[in-house]
């Protein structure tokens, strides 16, 4: 099983040189990646130490981006924090307004949660 990391722990890593982000209930250490991020260091620092799922999805990141992020995965958000933390995180369903959370995925793509497994 993946390591479980509490939101309180993630919050401690909220600086540019110590930068963890929660995306879809998974925790990523993007400290090293921040300088390579095509979207810039600042966008990552903005969500440092917290859940950046919404921001990540809003950008419409490519599947390539999702491949890259796997390299920085360090564990899962603790179960106790998932319930109160992120109601959207378990949803892989595009919204009715067309803001598809997996807009760059092919039509046959499995549910979003499965891409990352």
Based on CB atoms, which residue is closest to ligand HEM, 66 or 78?
A: 66
Which residues contact ligand HEM by CB under 6 A?
Answer: 21, 28, 30, 37-39, 43-44, 46-47, 52, 55-56, 59, 61-62, 64-65, 68-69, 72
Minimum CB separation of residue 46 from ligand HEM in Å reads: 6
CA distance 19 to 10: 9
Nearer to ligand HEM, 12 or 58 (CB): 58
Closest distance to ligand HEM from the beta carbon of 45 (Å): 9
Residue 68 CB, shortest distance to ligand HEM, in Å, is 4
Q: Based on CB atoms, which residue is closest to ligand HEM, 65 or 92?
A: 65
List helix spans (H) across 22-108.
Answer: 41-46, 53-59, 63-70, 79-85
Q: Which is nearer to ligand HEM, 56 or 96 (CB)?
A: 56
């Amino acid at each position: 099983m993946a390591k479980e990391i509490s939101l309180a722990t993630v919050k401690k890593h909220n600086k540019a040189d110590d930068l963890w982000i929660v995306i879809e209930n998974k925790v990523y250490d993007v400290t090293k990646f921040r300088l390579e991020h095509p979207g810039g260091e600042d966008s990552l620092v903005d969500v440092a130490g917290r859940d950046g799922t919404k921001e990540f999805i809003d950008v419409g990141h490519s599947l390539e981006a999702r491949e890259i992020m796997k390299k920085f995965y360090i564990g899962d958000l603790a179960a106790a924090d998932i319930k109160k933390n992120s109601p959207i995180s378990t949803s892989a369903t595009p919204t009715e307004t067309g803001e598809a959370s997996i807009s760059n995925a092919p039509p046959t793509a499995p549910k979003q949660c499965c891409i990352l497994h």
